[in-house]
């Protein structure tokens, strides 16, 4: 049997999803991941992570939240093992890859665990734009939480997207809250740096700074940028990756169009 190739599989999965053949996509990834699991230490760990994430997303898309969560927890346990083994003798690049995969699985497990649940209330130490507000106060609106940091280039690339979404859908009931967090630096300097980062970007959304990283962990948003969608009743709903602009907009319009 040849070594499984995750990239080829994921290309096929994308085509099947585009054609609406979700069950076929599930079967394909399940078979591919089973081959990886049969050779746990002879297959590329980053590829296995991507297969696990893809299968979890497919489970969610087909209404199988429980299997998705069980899968992610199983893969996270394997990732912990790999992370420890590579930490003993791996190269710096291998250590970084193992750690990244572990965090991706941890984040996605946290995200899936929140689906269908009331969104945890946000905790903001300082508002640098808009606000103050809470999720409780936003009940009746669709809320997009976007987690970011000023040193993250993909996060900064999201700002024009957020501006467009606000311009198109704010009047229909979309509230966008961009959330970053304080680190270990002096808070005054950090707040100044954050204010400078968002200055002159034409944003009319709320931008808040959490006191620490606990809220990001709770929302599965340590890996940034990350987005969470909350429906009009305050329930967390499936959201695409932050980079998937078209899918994100489609998810927002679906929630806005849903019966009250």
- The pLDDT assigned to 89 comes to 87
- The pLDDT assigned to 4 comes to 47
**CA pair distance 34, 11, nearest whole angstrom:** 18
- The pLDDT assigned to 5 comes to 63
Tokens representing 107?
């984040």
Domains of the chain: total = 2
Query: Does 12 reside within a domain?
Result: yes
Say whether both 153 and 80 belong to one domain. Answer: no
Considering only residues 115 and 244, tell me which one the structure prediction assigns the higher pLDDT. 115
- Mean pLDDT for 56-70 is 96
**CA pair distance 117, 236, nearest whole angstrom:** 6
Query: Does 91 reside within a domain?
Result: yes
The CATH number assigned to the domain holding 53 equals: 1.25.40.10
What predicted TM-score, i.e. pTM, was given to this entire model? 0.89
Say whether both 18 and 102 belong to one domain. Answer: yes
**CA pair distance 111, 132, nearest whole angstrom:** 25
Average pLDDT, the chain: 93
Number of residues that make up the chain: 260
Say whether both 39 and 131 belong to one domain. Answer: no
Tokens representing 177?
């809250």
The CATH number assigned to the domain holding 248 equals: 3.40.30.10
- The pLDDT assigned to 7 comes to 78
Residue 44: give the domain boundaries.
6-114
Say whether both 154 and 231 belong to one domain. Answer: yes
Res 194 pLDDT > 50: yes
Beta strands 126-129 and 206-210, pairing class: antiparallel
Say whether both 178 and 153 belong to one domain. Answer: yes
pLDDT tens string 131-186? 899 999 999 999 999 999 999 999 999 999 999 999 999 999 999 999 999 988 88
- Cis (ω within 30 of 0) for the bond into 225? yes
Say whether both 19 and 75 belong to one domain. Answer: yes
Percent of the chain residues topping a pLDDT of 90: 86
């Amino acid at each position: 049997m040849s070594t499984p190739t995750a990239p080829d599989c994921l290309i096929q999965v994308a085509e099947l999803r585009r054609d609406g053949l979700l069950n076929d996509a599930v079967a394909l990834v399940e078979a591919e991941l089973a081959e990886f699991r049969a050779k746990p230490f002879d297959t590329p760990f980053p590829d296995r992570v991507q297969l696990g994430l893809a299968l979890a997303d497919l489970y969610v898309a087909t209404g199988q939240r429980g299997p998705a969560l069980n899968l992610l927890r199983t893969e996270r346990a394997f990732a912990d093992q790999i992370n420890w083994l590579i930490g003993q003798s791996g190269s710096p690049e291998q250590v970084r890859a193992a750690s990244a995969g572990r965090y991706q699985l941890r984040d996605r497990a946290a995200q899936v665990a929140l689906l269908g649940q009331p969104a945890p209330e946000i905790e903001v130490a300082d508002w640098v734009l808009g606000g103050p507000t809470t999720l409780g106060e936003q009940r009746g609106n669709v809320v997009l939480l976007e987690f970011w940091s000023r040193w993250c280039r993909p996060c900064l690339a999201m700002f024009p997207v957020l501006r467009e979404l606000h311009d198109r859908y704010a009047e229909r009931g979309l509230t966008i809250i961009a959330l970053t967090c304080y680190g270990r630096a002096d808070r005054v300097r950090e707040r100044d740096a954050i204010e400078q980062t968002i200055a002159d970007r034409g944003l009319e959304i709320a931008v808040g700074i959490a006191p620490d990283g606990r809220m990001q962990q709770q929302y599965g948003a340590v890996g940034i940028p990350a987005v969470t969608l909350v429906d009009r009743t305050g329930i967390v709903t499936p959201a695409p990756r932050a980079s998937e602009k078209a899918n994100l907009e489609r998810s927002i319009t679906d929630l806005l169009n849903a019966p009250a």
